Amino acid sequence: MNPIIIIIIVLALLLIFLIALLKLTRVPGAVYKNKVKYSDHAKAPVKPFFSNKYWLTGKPDYILDTKDGLIPLDIKNTAKPKEPYFGHVMQVVSYCLLMEEENAIPPKYGILRYNDGQFYISYTPERKAHLLKTMDKMKQHMRSNTCPEPDPKSRCKLHTTVSL
Amino acid sequence: MGTIDNIVLNLYKQDEERVTTVGMDLESIQKVLILIKDRTVMKPIRSSEISSYLFCPVCWWIGITEGVKITSAMVEGEKHHKHVAENTTKAGALYACIIVITFILIAVSLCGVLL
């Protein structure tokens, strides 16, 4: 057999093996394909973002330096749903808001990574407005020390109809 | 209700290492946690709380009023995060190797064609 063909076969097999190993690490492709600017998975603890204006704090799993600018990435340890869960979407939007406050430049989108896939969450004015409205409701409950009413549309199996 | 200036709390990660991230000693953090529990101060909203509130507002309320609860899901989540952290460097190195081998494969194939 031609030695070049043997080399090609060996390299191809090695490539397949390395790709399989890479998949086994379960690290999102966006992480190793881009420069990581911030990571909540570093050995040393990282400082959370904080907005005094919105009284909001949070630590995205990663902030990536991509061709689209700085982008937050959040990892969820669940199977990928057909559509991203609304709560997860708003969590990513809140990271976008924190980054906008920190850098004065709003991220174009955030990435929501599930075990077997990911969604790109656009950071739109509508989503930002919805986030602020949600946070206002939360703050009202915190100030008045009152428990919110159960949400009948909630995915929660415990508190859809029964009031505390 | 008062507020705490510029203090960020990560209530699910109260181990000493994490506490140092907010630049406070453990004793100070514990005092702040007591104030929050007594509802005499308001803590900032954490991004993950927004997800929790939208999942179920009652669960969120129980979580913030009954204090810190480390559920099995959270522990699993933490384990997963650590797993990801440990593998990030490995994944970067593997990705670099894949790119290099791909280039070599293309070069060898071209040589084969030319020869």
Query: Nearest 5°: phi and psi at A58?
Result: 175, 160
pLDDT of A62-87, one tens digit each?
A: 999 999 999 999 988 888 999 999 99
Best probe of the A interface among B3, B36, B84, B115, by most A CBs < 10 A, is B84
Q: Say how many C-beta atoms besides its own lie within 10 A of residue A88's C-beta.
A: 22
Structure tokens at A126: 């509508």
A50: closest chain B residue by CA = B8
Q: Is A15 on the interface with B (CB under 8 A)?
A: yes
Instruction: Supply the pLDDT for residue B27.
Output: 61
CA–CA separation, B8 and A161 (whole Å)? 34
Distance from the Cα of A99 to chain B's closest Cα (Å) equals 12
B75 to chain A, closest Cα gap in Å: 11
Residue-level pLDDT at A109: 96
pLDDT for B20 beyond 50 = no
Strand partners, A122: A109
Q: For residue A2, give the nearest of B92, B102, B113, B72 by alpha carbon.
A: B113
The Cα–Cα gap between A123 and A106 comes to 8
pTM for the complete prediction?
A: 0.74
pLDDT of residue A42 exceeding 90: no
Say what the pLDDT of residue A18 is. 94
User: Of B35, B56, B62, B65, which to mutate for an interface test with A (greatest number of A Cβ within 10 Å)?
Assistant: B56
Structure-model confidence comparison of residues A21 and A27, the more confident one: A21
If pLDDT is split at 50, 70 and 90, which confidence band does A155 have? Answer: confident
Instruction: Flag if B102 and A31 touch (Cβ within 8 Å).
Output: no
User: Which pLDDT does position B42 carry in this prediction?
Assistant: 64
B62 versus B10: the higher-pLDDT residue is B62
Interchain CB distance below 8 Å, A50 and B6: yes
Instruction: Count how many pairs of residues, chain A against chain B, have C-beta atoms within 8 Å.
Output: 182
Give the residue from chain B lying closest to A23, CA to CA. B91
Alpha-carbon distance A1 to nearest alpha carbon in chain B (angstroms): 13
pLDDT tens per residue across span B72-111: 444 445 555 555 666 777 888 899 999 999 999 999 888 8
Is it the case that residue B5 has pLDDT exceeding 60? no
Are B40 and A80 in contact, with CB atoms under 8 Å apart?
A: no
Reading phi first (left if > 0) and then psi (alpha if -120 to 50, else beta), residue B72 is in: alpha
Cα–Cα distance for residue pair B25/B10, rounded to 1 Å? 14
The model's pLDDT over A88-146, given as tens digits with 9 standing for 90+, comes to 999 999 999 999 999 989 999 999 998 888 999 999 999 999 999 999 999 999 888 88
The per-residue pLDDT for B80 is 54
